[in-house]
Chains A and B, each alone.
Chain A
Amino acid sequence: MKAGLLARLLPSLHHRILALVMVTVVLVTVALTALQLVTTQRALSRNLAEKQQLLAHHLADNLAVPLAERNYPRVVELIDSAVATGDLSSATVVDQRGRVVASSAPELTGRSFEEVSPPVSDLVTAPIAGQGLVGITSRAAASDALLGTILVGAVLASAVVILTLLPIVHRLSRGLTRPLDQAVHAARRMARGQFAVVELRSPIREIDALTTALSEAARQLGEGHGLLVQARDQLHTQVAFQQRLIDTIPVPVFHCDGAGLLQGCNDAFTRLVGGGAAAGRPVWEMLPAELWERFVAAHAAGGVFTCETGLPAGNGLQFAIFTAAPLPAGAGHIGVIFDITARKEAEEALARTRDEAIENSRLKSSFLATVSHEIRTPMNGIIGLSELLLESGVDAMQRECVEGVLTSGQELLRVINDLLDFSKMEAGRFRLDLTDIDLAQVVRDAMTVLSPAAKSKALPLRVVIDPELPRLLRADGGRIRQVLLNLVGNSLKFTDQGSVEVRVAAAAAGQGRVTVRCEVQDTGIGIAEADLGKLFRPFVQVDGSYSRRHGGTGMGLSIVKNLVELMGGAIGVVSTPGSGSTFWFELPLRRSEAATMLIAALREAAPRVNTAVDPTPTASALPLVLLAEDDLVNRTLAVARLVRLGLRASCAADGRQAVARFTDERPVLVLMDVHMPELDGIAAMREIRASLPAGAICPPIVALTANAMVGDHERFLQLGFDDYLAKPYTQVQFAKLVHKWVPESQPVAGG
């Protein structure tokens, strides 16, 4: 405010110099005047005091006689005369009693002197010859007049000095400020872009330095201005280029300030918002308002905001990915809108296709399960009855025929199993059944299965197991066995002379883990190098003649590869055509010795059902197994196998009968077909368990079913069955299962 007032009163340096000099003169004059006034006033005060004393005594002398004569009117007359001279402002006569007897102020008469006396500093008293005293106060008029004269003189002197100095200071100031004015004009020309160098000179060194520097600055600014103009033109070109570039971007791009007001955009954005993209228009009027709020909130948190959003219909876009990023230094936001309408439509179409595929797959799986069940059930009968027939004593011709039936049945079963496995893998539903296994035993079991085929071709089948191989491992023994059966089966299939050797060793071991490497080496026909790449592809056989000669679906190795990889391993082959092949696979397995030992210990300690007391029990003393099976052939086959295992069998044709017989007969094991009339196996199992009193031990109930689809095993265990055996099963599989739950049964041959 003060600065503003000063600027209005003294707008220029010239004025300020003038003002400064004049104010200085005035201040000096005022100071000198004040000094003179103080000095004079002190002198006057001294003189006045002396004069007052003189006047007081003189008046007292004059008053002595009238007072002595008690001539009070004369007293009044005298003091009035004294006051009338102009030297006194008051005079008061006081008698010896301290009473005012006369005064220049009559109203004081009769009052006490102490009561009416003025301040001591102003009062001068003089005694009146023992009759009282007279007190006077003086006028300061004379001294005031003198002081006033001095003051007026000082003011006049100041005026004279100012009037004398004014033109001189004015001239000097003009000389000082003229170069500055010229410099200002030069600076204004520069401000208008006129950088012509002007030589400004001043006799005053500092101003000369300033004007010289200004001239130099003008020169340099001129140069810099040229560069700036050039840079500006380039910038305009660049901005135009960038705008063109942005306009050519097919996706909408815009830029807004911190308040959301549009600052710029490209053509795509303008098209998007229907031509209403005027600068300064709020973006939330052009885009969904909640979008603006969300990305402002995201930017406040310091991040780039990206979201998928729907856009109002009518502008061609229905779905978009909106990405917005904050600009540096709070300059606002930049946003990009990607049109994903087509992609969204494609995704929706894809989702529909996927749903259809899933539905088709489900239908296919269901169909496969049905077909598998329907094929396995009769296949169980064919294989089982063929085995029984071979064991019942037949002549050579009959044996050859039965063995043909059996072989054909087994081959057909293998093909079906391959199909089912492949189906499971394709559907991604293949599950590993990890249990604690004795890998050496798994290998030997597989060799036992294949030894008849080796014998039939007079090929030595050797098994070499590394003694360092851990005895117990956590793995899916069934799948390892399947891999071995496939690889060794292939070697036997394609080897006519020489031998087949299986080597199992621990390739690497670590903390609780071991990598098991299995090699199957044969001296067969070998595989051409060119065919090695096609070896593990599905439905491919290296040579079509092989298929015709040796049979097979071409899915075996593909299934094997998938199984090994499913178990986290790798598989490969080294082959020399005409000399043989070595198939290998490696599996990373986990040791599980402690768990296996615990299970073994528990098994040893577990109470036995119908513990054998008599080593040669009678038929009624044999353990009773309840068999629930609606299919007569399979029921007959199972009964025959149970008898061969040294057990008694009680049969039920449906679930209802099974429940009734269980209640009556209390078997040690229940083999329960799942699909049965009246009451299915699952319901029958639940009724049996429900019929038992609380705390009673229920004998194991095992599901027998042709349901061999992915997950069936786990599903039946979850439903409450103790175990599961898929149809068709071999005698060995059946015997192992039964022996597992009824140890009193006869062990299976070779198992």
Chain B
Amino acid sequence: MSSPSPLLAAFLIPVWMLLYSPMLEAADEAPLHKVQIAIHAWEGYVEPYAPGFIAAMRERHHIEVELVRTSATGLDSFRSHLRDHSADLVSPANDLLRTLKDEGLIRPLETALVPNLAQVNPIILDNGYFRIDGHTWGAPFTYGPYALAYNRAKLAKPTSYEVLWDERWKGRVSVSNYDTANIYLVALALHIPASDLFRLSDAQLARIEVKLRELHAQVGHYWSDNLEPDSVKTIDVGTDWGIGVHLINSKGGDWAMTVPAEGATAWVDNWAISSAIDPAKLLLVHEFIDYQISARVEAEVARHTSYGPANIYATRFLTVAEKLDYHITDADYLGRLTIWQPLDAATLARYQAAWKRATR
């Protein structure tokens, strides 16, 4: 952690107290002051847990918090909401943090105000993608592999990505339209070392593009948010973040996620704060982040999304079955995942260009 954070926190707390002190003093007599926090985040990240936070703020600060979430779709949606100041908080994946930071759209967190950050899985912490220039730009919240999803009713557990290129499932394959994620997947399928995934050479990228083109021929449906339950009638195998499988199963499906022998890349969603946020909301959004990454909420998040909780203590609040379902304590899971790294603009452009060419 950086040294200025405690000092800044020491400055922010009095400022916040000063700004909200009239509300605090008059709490008993006056109606609760309402504060709205605009959140641009993925589905399932806010609403199920909002009542706990709202109640806590009402009790602790006598503030009526209103959490207004808009659905995120990716870098562009994050960027646009941050630029037009319609989001106080965003939940970008780990590979987007640097981009948003470099564009000045987010601001560093005050880590002293987010003590639960210490409880984040050391694998994520050690990756350190969220620490740039000595500051912490996001709080890891959930993670998930971009791995194989399959209908157990149709096929046995696949052990390699090659199943996607299996002629038997041609047209019944569904993968994400997330370009970089597919680049990484194909690289792993080509047994390119994981350490090269975020700095692929042109030769490697060329091989990947060829392999992508082959995959494109196999794919019956590209999904944008997650593997879509409605498509399972025409799909038997594919890729997912995890939530798609969760949704399918919740509607009676019998799908499963698996990390094949080649391993998988993993995303980590983070909570980041808009650089244009009203200072009066700073303490509140830090409290929200700390609440969200607490073990109890993380367990709820896992329960709702099947995503891996960043907080390792979430396991305390999950049943054995849940832990198995969500691979919470699966040694072959997060340990074999390669967490996405932010890409510089040139690399990203190269990757996106390759993707576009392959999927034309």
Q: Give A contacts to B, CB under 8 Å.
A: 65-66, 69-77, 80, 95, 101-102, 106-107, 109-111
- How far, in angstroms, from A109 to B121 measured CA to CA in the complex? 10
Assuming the contacts A73-B314, A76-B312, A80-B316, asked whether A110 and B123 have C-beta atoms less than 8 A apart, the reply is: no
What are 23 inter-chain pairs, A to B, with CB distance below 8 A?
Answer: A70-B123, A70-B334, A71-B329, A71-B331, A71-B334, A71-B335, A72-B121, A73-B312, A73-B329, A74-B331, A75-B312, A76-B313, A76-B316, A77-B315, A77-B323, A77-B329, A80-B316, A102-B313, A106-B295, A106-B313, A107-B115, A110-B117, A110-B118
Contact yes or no, B316 A70, CB < 8 A: no
* Bound CA span A109–B323, Å: 21
Q: Is B31 an interface residue (CB 8 A)?
A: no
CB–CB A72/B118 < 8 A? no
Chain A residue contacts of B313, Cβ below 8 A: 76, 102, 106, 109
Interface of B is mostly: helix
In the bound assembly, the distance between CA atoms of A66 and B333 in angstroms comes to: 12
Which B residues, 317 to 347, have Cβ-Cβ distances below 8 Å to chain A?
323, 328-331, 334-335
A102-B312, A110-B118 known; A74+B329 contact, CB < 8 A: yes
The 3 lowest CB-CB distance pairs between A and B, nearest first, are A110-B118, A74-B329, A73-B315
Give chain B residues whose Cβ lies under 8 Å from the Cβ of A72.
121-123, 312
Q: Let me know if B119 is at the binding interface, CB within 8 A.
A: yes
Q: Which B residues are within 8 Å of any A CB, using their own CB? A: 115, 117-119, 121-123, 295, 312-316, 323, 328-331, 334-335
Could you tell me if A101 and B122 are in contact, using CB atoms closer than 8 angstroms? yes
Residue among A71, A72, A101 with most chain B CB within 10 A: A72
State whether A73 and B123 are in contact (beta carbons under 8 Å apart), knowing that A102-B312, A106-B313, A109-B118 are contacts in the complex.
no
Residues in B with CB closer than 8 Å to A74 are: 315, 329, 331
**Within the assembled complex, what's the spacing in Å between the Cα atoms of A590 and B41?**
155
Contact A76 B331, beta carbon cutoff 8 Å: no
Check if B118 sits within 8 Å of A73, measured CB to CB. no
A70-B335, A72-B312, A73-B315 given; A110·B119 CB < 8 A: yes
Please, which residues of chain B bring their CB within 8 A of the CB of A77? Answer: 315, 323, 329
B266 vs chain A, min Cβ distance (A):
13
Closest to B126 in A: A70
Contacts A73-B314, A75-B312 hold; do A66 and B331 have CB atoms under 8 A apart? yes
Give chain A nearest CB distance to B339 CB in angstroms.
12
Closest CB in chain A relative to B331 CB, distance in Å: 4
Give bound CA distance, A65 to B331, whole Å.
9
CA separation between A12 and B329, bound complex, in Å?
Answer: 76
CA distance A109 to B117 in the complex (A): 9
Q: Are A69 and B331 in contact (CB under 8 A)?
A: yes
B332: nearest chain-A partner, CB-CB: A69
Task: List A contacts of B335 (CB < 8 A).
Answer: 69-71
Chain A residues, CB < 8 A from B316: 76, 80
Shortest CB–CB separation between residue B84 and chain A, in angstroms?
36
In the bound complex, how far is the Cα of B269 from the Cα of A73, in angstroms?
Answer: 18
Complex: chain A residue closest to B118, CB-CB: A110
Give 15 new A-B contacts, CB below 8 A, not counting A71-B335, A74-B331, A109-B119.
A66-B329, A69-B335, A71-B330, A71-B331, A73-B121, A73-B315, A73-B323, A73-B329, A74-B315, A76-B312, A77-B315, A77-B323, A102-B312, A109-B118, A109-B313
User: Nearest chain A CB to B6's CB is how many angstroms away?
Assistant: 14
- Which A residue's beta carbon lies closest to that of B123? A70
A109–B119 Cα gap in the complex (Å)? 6
A95 CA to B122 CA in the complex, in Å? 10
Residues in B neighbouring A111, C-beta threshold 8 A: 118
> Which one of A65, A73, A76, A101 has the greatest number of beta carbons of chain B within 10 Å?
A73
| Nearest chain A CB to B267 CB, angstrom units | 18
B121, B312, B331 pick with most chain A CB within 10 angstroms = B312
Shortest distance from the beta carbon of B136 to any chain A beta carbon, whole Å: 13
A73 closest partner in B (C-beta) = B315
A110 to B1, CA, bound (A): 11
Closest to A66 in B: B331
Residue numbers in A under 8 Å from B315 (CB-CB): 73-74, 76-77, 80
Closest partner residue, chain A, to B125 (CB atom): A110
Residues from chain B with a CB closer than 8 A to the CB of A73 are 121, 312, 314-315, 323, 328-329
Shortest Cβ distance from residue A78 to the other chain B in the assembled complex, whole angstroms = 9
User: Which residue from chain B places its CB closest to the CB of A95 in the assembled complex?
Assistant: B122
Residues of A near B122 (CB, < 8 A) are 70, 72, 95, 101
A71 to B117 alpha-carbon distance, docked (Å): 18
Complex Cα distance, B335 from A636, in Å, reads 183
B123 contacts across to A, CB distance below 8 A? 70, 72
Closest to B312 in A: A72
Q: Which of the residues B119, B323, B330, B334 comes within 8 Å of A106, measured between beta carbons?
A: B119
Question: CA A1 – CA B59 in complex, angstroms?
Answer: 56
Across-interface contacts of A102 in B (CB, < 8 A): 312-313
A111 to B119, CA, bound (A): 10
Distance in angstroms from B161 CB to nearest chain A CB is 22
